[in-house]
Amino acid sequence: MRILIHGGFFSESSQSNETKLLKQKALLDILEKSKVYLKNNNAVSTSIFATSLLEDSPLFNAGIGSQIQQDGKIRMSAAIMDGTSHKFSGVINIENVQNPIFVAQKLMREDDRVLGGEGATKYAFKEGFPLFSTETKERKIEYLTKKENLGTGTVGCVVLDQNGKLAAATSTGGKGFEIPGRVSDSATIAGNYANEHCAVSCTGVGEDIVSGALATKIVTRVTDGYALKDAFKKTFEELKPYDGFAGAIAVCKNGDVFFSESHPKIVYASFDGESNTVFT
């Protein structure tokens, strides 16, 4: 069994050491809860569970604490991919729900599995998700004072379960101050991808991740016989011509885990079957 979770980058220059320590503790707490959950649940369910806990923490830019767009509204995106069935489901620019990842989970049962904007929000309410504002005091102050910061706090999780099944889940609150309607990487196969060989979740600047087809390339290269580390190396080298800002976590069916970033530092924690590791 393997679990990796990430909370994006430390992108805010004003971020204190205290905040960094709080994020580190939050990641370890979520990792511990997810380990217990994985004992009795599969990879897909566990990836959703861990991501929902990350969404519930205002320390990260997903769910509660999501960034505010130019028009003063919060729009979030999230996705899941089941490495066994190859099913991908997601929501893009959904509003007023606490956990976009749970809406993506509901969509797994639908023929139309990726919904955007008003359609995604209406679907959530139809399925019984209550109206919920994810705005925090801190985000509101940033918006009102026009304190622009790179919203690279996307969260995600990759899992290898006890039966050798893989899954990936990713959620984001956007980059902040973006043009309404902008689509991030998180609910695309560039930012979240899994098959029976490998699972990857990305974070960083969505446009750069989409340009590099990051998650899909890593998984495809592992499927074609690359070692996980080599798949990362080649894929991240392809970001260099345009100085792509990205990070990714991954797990393979053989239990190999790996993470990398093009601009330090991604916030991540992992369980390798024996012990926990946290990196900030």
Q: Are 190 and 218 in contact (CB under 8 A)?
A: no
pLDDT grade for 180, boundaries at 50, 70 and 90: very high
Which position has the token pair 């069994």?
1
More confident residue, 235 or 12: 235
Q: How does pLDDT run across 123-133, given as a tens digit for each residue?
A: 999 999 999 99
Supply the DSSP string of 168-237, one letter for each residue: EEEEE--SSSPPTT---STTSTTTEEE-SSEEEEEEE-HHHHHHHTHHHHHHHHHHTT--HHHHHHHHHH
Segment among 113-117, 175-179, 217-221, 275-279 with least mean pLDDT = 275-279
pLDDT grade for 9, boundaries at 50, 70 and 90: confident
Q: pLDDT value at position 22?
A: 85
265 pLDDT above the threshold of 90? no
Q: pLDDT value at position 15?
A: 57
Q: How does pLDDT run across 15-43, given as a tens digit for each residue?
A: 567 777 888 889 999 999 999 999 999 99
State yes or no: is 154 an active-site residue.
yes
pLDDT grade for 225, boundaries at 50, 70 and 90: very high
Q: Which domains does the chain have, with CATH numbers?
A: 2-279 (3.60.20.30)
Percent with pLDDT over 90 in the chain:
79
Q: pLDDT value at position 152?
A: 54
147 pLDDT above the threshold of 80? no
Q: Is 280 exposed, middle or buried (0-12, 13-18, 19+ CB in 10 A)?
A: middle
Which two tokens mark 271? 């369980």
| Whole-structure pTM value | 0.93
Mean model confidence pLDDT for the chain: 92
Q: Cα(19)–Cα(175) distance, rounded to whole angstroms?
A: 19
Q: pLDDT value at position 146?
A: 75
Choosing from 51, 121, 154, 172, the catalytic residue is 154
73 pLDDT above the threshold of 90? yes
64 pLDDT above the threshold of 90? yes
In this prediction, residues 262-274 reach a mean pLDDT of 75
Q: pLDDT value at position 275?
A: 66
